[in-house]
A = this chain, B = another copy of it.
Amino acid sequence: MSRQSLSIALSGSGGSGVMTCGSMLLEAAGKAGWYGIMTRSAGPQIRGGEAAALLRVSNEPLESHDDSFDLVLALDPGSLGRFVAEIPLRDDSVIICDMAGGRRNATLPETAAREIDLPMKKMAKAVKGGRPNMIALGVLARVIGLPESSINRILDKALKSKGPDALEASRACVKEGFIAAVDLPAFTGPPIVAVPDGERWSITGNEAAGLGAVRGGVRFVAAYPITPATEVLEWLATSLPKLGGVLVQAEDELASINQIIGASFGGKPSLTATSGPGLALMTESIGLSVCAEVPVVVLDVMRCGPSTGIATKNEQTDLNIALNGLHGDAPHLVLAPTSLTDCIFTTQWAVHLAEAMQAPAIVLSDQSLGQTRAIVNAPADIAFLAKREVPEPGEEKLQGETYQRYAIGATGVSPMTIPGQPGGQYTADGLEHTEAGAPSSLYADHLAQLDKRSNKITGFNYGEHWADIDGTGDTMVITWGSACGPVREALTRLRAHGADIKMLAIRLLAPERPEDMSAALEGIKRILIVEQSHSKQFYRYLRAAYDLPGEVRVFNRPGPLAFKPGEIIEQLADWCGGDKS
């Protein structure tokens, strides 16, 4: 049967190389001209536990897994069990499993899905230096209709370092796989349209965030490793030096946040990346960046909380702390990417905004956006660049007794000198201060500076970027972050059946945009709010910030179970006359 997209799950025990197989399959699909995504799932073992690669390919860009999987391949019979919840099947799904060495883990749900025993280990043994995962690669490529050529191009690239024998062995295994697959049920995937080299990218959300940061102008990063943010740092650690920038591995998050504040005080756009526990340690000093008006960007790649929670899994529950986690009245920016590729734009824009307003910006990415790898269209480079208002040497404000670092001014943004600039000396301070930066405990100074710090942020012109709005109608879905993907796909399906639904994906969470929001809510009668949180953090934020008209419904659940397009459609079914999918 032919489908517009194909979903494939690959599982195996530790060291069986399912991830390598999955990545190669994804890249091959990309080379062939398909779009695709791949996510990884693994047990608690640091190394050596069961692992699964979940793939989906299509000739349309993808942002979400499908409601169910077409094809499951298990290199070891025992390895499927732990992933059943993540691999919903249909009666017409196919399971290819190497039954050798164990009985197939019985916990698979009851479906009529057809099971086929394929002795991949045995086949691999027959090849000198062969490995079962390369057999699987061939099998899968053949079954989903990828040309052997595209696989071989990937093998060449991936194995050239490993020498000719390794390459030979893999090629041979792939060929074996292709042959073995001939009698397997074939899935006619989406039509294959070749695309010129370089037009498509293979990138993860974490790499995208790193790219957005340096595109925005970030040249100093200090950070302490933490899952699932570490890949952002790993990418920056190798990329920054190329640009004359630097990444410092700090002793802890207290050091990393303060190091970037220090570097930014020195004039370098600076960023740190972390996850919930690290963000919690940084809030005191993010408050310093608010009060001293030193711009920094803090990227939080969210994971399941509370506390250490589930470090490797997705949740959208650092919204509370990002919005309200600072002590005192501390206006700052909070943004969230609305898709994997948007991690580039949103991070880059965050750098621009932080620098323009001399304030901290927290970017809320999440494990799902960050660690998913996708084949996408080459993203455009947007012009947003760090641009900090610096007084010209010799400008009046530098004459006279002292430079007024915290001058109130019209916008609340006061030109900021950089150490080295003569006559611009001042002391940046976390104490409340006068316009000249001298400590003050007077109500008048406190009020004036509180107004300044909040006006500069609420009064800024953010243009259209505060949210992604599309569609029409009086029913609206409001969501954010990684929940946007499944929602978009659900709405695409519903609209294909004539439903009229509007979608609002909020990129700028703080400050609030009352006018923009009321414009967006114009004529809305029904609202569905979708978020991956047990305590409805996003819904409560919307309540506090905005007046939500009409009937409001909240579809929320904690991580790690990702939303499926079909589930969103169910939520909307009675609002648009029955399940249209």
Expressed in whole angstroms, the Cα–Cα distance for A559 and B317 within the complex equals 31
Are A430 and B535 in contact (CB-based, < 8 A)? Answer: no
Expressed in whole angstroms, the Cα–Cα distance for A277 and B330 within the complex equals 12
Residue of B with least CB distance to A444:
B85
> Which residues A273-293 have CB closer than 8 A to chain B?
276-277, 279-281, 283-284, 287-288, 290-292
Which of B281, B288, B310, B328 is the one whose CB lies under 8 Å from A284?
B281
Are A291 and B310 in contact (CB-based, < 8 A)? Answer: no
Residue of B with least CB distance to A431:
B308
Are B325 and A324 in contact (CB-based, < 8 A)? Answer: yes
A537 interface contact, C-beta 8 A: yes
**Shortest Cβ distance from A21 into chain B, in angstroms?**
23
Are A326 and B304 in contact (CB-based, < 8 A)? Answer: no
A447 interface contact, C-beta 8 A: yes
Contacts of A326 in B (CB 8 A): 280, 305-306, 320-321, 325
Are A327 and B331 in contact (CB-based, < 8 A)? Answer: no
Decide yes or no: A558 and B290 within 8 Å by CB, A309-B432, A328-B304 being known contacts. Answer: no
Contacts of A317 in B (CB 8 A): 327-329
Contacts of A330 in B (CB 8 A): 305-307
A439 interface contact, C-beta 8 A: yes
Residue of B with least CB distance to A281:
B284
Q: Which of A335-343, A475-483, A490-498, A538-546 is the interface stretch? A: A538-546
A323 interface contact, C-beta 8 A: yes
A230 interface contact, C-beta 8 A: no
Which of B277, B441, B534, B560 is the one whose CB lies under 8 Å from A454?
B534
Are A450 and B321 in contact (CB-based, < 8 A)? Answer: no
Decide yes or no: A329 and B534 within 8 Å by CB, A305-B287, A310-B446 being known contacts. Answer: yes
Are A535 and B329 in contact (CB-based, < 8 A)? Answer: yes
A15 interface contact, C-beta 8 A: no
A409 interface contact, C-beta 8 A: no
A425 interface contact, C-beta 8 A: no
**Shortest Cβ distance from A541 into chain B, in angstroms?**
7
Contacts of A439 in B (CB 8 A): 44
Which of B277, B318, B329 is the one whose CB lies under 8 Å from A533?
B329
Expressed in whole angstroms, the Cα–Cα distance for A429 and B311 within the complex equals 13
Decide yes or no: A292 and B280 within 8 Å by CB, A320-B325, A325-B325, A439-B44 being known contacts. Answer: no
Are A291 and B312 in contact (CB-based, < 8 A)? Answer: no
**Shortest Cβ distance from A448 into chain B, in angstroms?**
10
**Shortest Cβ distance from A400 into chain B, in angstroms?**
24
Are B306 and A291 in contact (CB-based, < 8 A)? Answer: yes
Decide yes or no: A446 and B558 within 8 Å by CB, A315-B328, A324-B324 being known contacts. Answer: yes
A116 interface contact, C-beta 8 A: no
Residue of B with least CB distance to A290:
B306
Expressed in whole angstroms, the Cα–Cα distance for A70 and B279 within the complex equals 51
Are B327 and A324 in contact (CB-based, < 8 A)? Answer: no
**Shortest Cβ distance from A299 into chain B, in angstroms?**
14
Contacts of A329 in B (CB 8 A): 305-306, 315, 317, 533-535, 537, 558
Which of B280, B309, B540 is the one whose CB lies under 8 Å from A283?
B280
Residue of B with least CB distance to A557:
B447
A126 interface contact, C-beta 8 A: no
Are A291 and B277 in contact (CB-based, < 8 A)? Answer: no
Are A535 and B454 in contact (CB-based, < 8 A)? Answer: yes
Contacts of A323 in B (CB 8 A): 324
Residue of B with least CB distance to A283:
B280
List 22 A-B residue pairs with CB atoms under 8 Å apart, sorted by A's residue number.
Answer: A44-B441, A276-B327, A277-B284, A304-B328, A304-B432, A305-B326, A305-B329, A305-B330, A307-B328, A307-B330, A308-B430, A309-B430, A310-B446, A317-B329, A318-B327, A318-B328, A329-B535, A331-B535, A441-B560, A443-B561, A447-B557, A540-B545
Known: A290-B306, A307-B430; 16 extra A-B contacts, CB below 8 A, are A43-B441, A44-B439, A276-B327, A280-B284, A281-B284, A283-B283, A292-B307, A306-B327, A306-B328, A309-B432, A325-B325, A329-B534, A443-B560, A447-B558, A454-B535, A540-B544
